[in-house]
Homo-oligomer: A and B are copies of this chain.
Amino acid sequence: MAKPNAIVAQSGGPTTVINSSICGVIQEANRSNKIGKVMAAHNGILGVLKEDLFDASAEKPAVIEALKRTPSAAMGSCRYKLKSIDQAKADFDRVLDVFKAHDIRYFFYAGGNDSMDTADKVNKLAAQRGYELVCIGIPKTIDNDLAYTDHCPGFGSVAKFVATCTMEAGRDTDALYTHDTCTIMEVMGRNAGWIAAATGLAARNEDEAPHLIYMPESAFTWEKVIADVKEVYSRLKKVFIIVGEGLKDKKGKYVTADTGVFAKDSFGHVQLGGVADMLKVVIEKEVNIKARTQKLGTNQRASMHFASLTDVEEAYMCGKEALRAAMNGINGKMITLVREESTRYICSTGLADLKDVANGEKKVPKEYINAQGNHITESCRKYIIPLIKGEAPVTIGQDGLPVYVRLAMKHVEKKLADYL
């Protein structure tokens, strides 16, 4: 009898290290004798719905290994969200139809809480229908906002990159403060301020950038920002500010200057951007100092050229442990990262229910934010520092640039009628 197949997919915003998790799944599957083929869904759950699958087992081992040093989601990702089972019955039926058609009995889904929600719902529907299926989630989000895990693969690398960029851009402001007095850097983080918090590591003393950090967790008022900026400017003659993209005013409304046409994404989230530009206008007017803005954008979540080795290795571990958990009869769980109680940093893995993770959200706790609500505390530094440690040098090509791989994506023949 043929061994059952597995499917692996990535979803949501890519990260620097999500491919390392996928590498862990595939390499561990190749070591197992219970799995037939590992198939990959092209562009996450969209690829499942469209039966757009490729044979990950057919990829060259060297290419799979090189995924550990290739940023973004090599199998493609999506932001397509399956609704509740009742509302989107057709979608869920289709997922199971595709799984059945290709004898897929293991589903590994790397993503954030939306993805864990999808995995949980697919799992429950399979159980209802009596289709034998094992669903395991792999944590992935630069936002570091998943509950039930100490931290998330992807966060360590974005933290290292944004802190380094803050340090470097801060040196620029140090040099040219007589002209470019205020620099405002906008970082990602829709509801949680973890990425903004990470930039705080760059300030090895209180004179160094960033001088002010505004996170979604702290109440935001223009009066407070203006007073803060004036205080720093009077002390240092320069001001370096970090703002999280998800800054909200007292009424819970996003502070944004975005004028885009596509104001909401497909989950109904408000599409963010432009909060730094908003601050620039207000600071120039109210404090009368010249301000410049910058936004690292998707480079925050793709900076493999300066990734955290800890992050790369932990992402791999999560992928590998997802496969092992499935082989050990675990189902409906996400792999978590567990920080051991120790004088030195030791991290192992644990398990959490997909449903719990889907409904949870971990914001930056109060004890990590200073009393003024505009910087981080020492305990926050202690939490983040181990996660950014270690260098993970990339291979450099003849043209002086990093060498990243692409999958061959040998397509699996379709067995069903078109859908979507």
Contacts and interface: CB of A to CB of B under 8 A. Distances in A.
Contacts of A294: 295-299
A10 B178 CA distance: 14
A171 B284 contact: no
A390 B163 CA distance: 24
A241 interface: no
A300 B201 CA distance: 20
Given A298-B183, A305-B306, A168 B72 contact: yes
B179 A402 contact: no
A123 interface: no
A285 B160 CA distance: 36
B13 A176 contact: yes
A202 B402 CA distance: 9
A202 B397 CA distance: 11
Given A260-B281, A291-B260, A169 B399 contact: no
Interface string A264-293: 011000000110010011001100001111
B273 A261 contact: no
B73 A176 contact: yes
A298 B172 contact: yes
Interface in A139-181: 160, 163-165, 167-169, 171-176, 178-180
Nearest to A159: B400
A80 interface: yes
Contact of A72 (B79, B172, B302, B393): B172
A305 B392 CA distance: 13
Contact of A78 (B163, B179, B185, B303): B179
Contacts of A132: none
Contacts of A247: none
Contact of A14 (B73, B171, B202, B290): B171
A258 to B, nearest CB: 9
Contacts of A284: 260-262
A385 interface: yes
A183 B163 CA distance: 23
A62 to B, nearest CB: 18
Interface in A357-403: 381, 385-386, 388-391, 393, 396, 399-402
A46 interface: yes
Contacts of A163: 401
Contacts of A129: none
A274 B277 CA distance: 9
Contacts of A336: none
A380 to B, nearest CB: 12
A77 interface: yes
Given A281-B261, A401-B164, A299 B296 contact: yes
A304 interface: yes
A165 B172 CA distance: 19
Given A14-B175, A71-B172, A389-B400, 20 more contacts: A72-B172, A73-B176, A160-B400, A167-B401, A168-B303, A168-B304, A169-B302, A172-B301, A172-B302, A201-B400, A204-B399, A260-B290, A277-B277, A293-B295, A294-B297, A296-B299, A305-B306, A308-B400, A385-B399, A390-B400
9 contacts: A14-B175, A72-B172, A79-B179, A167-B401, A169-B297, A180-B298, A260-B281, A292-B297, A295-B297
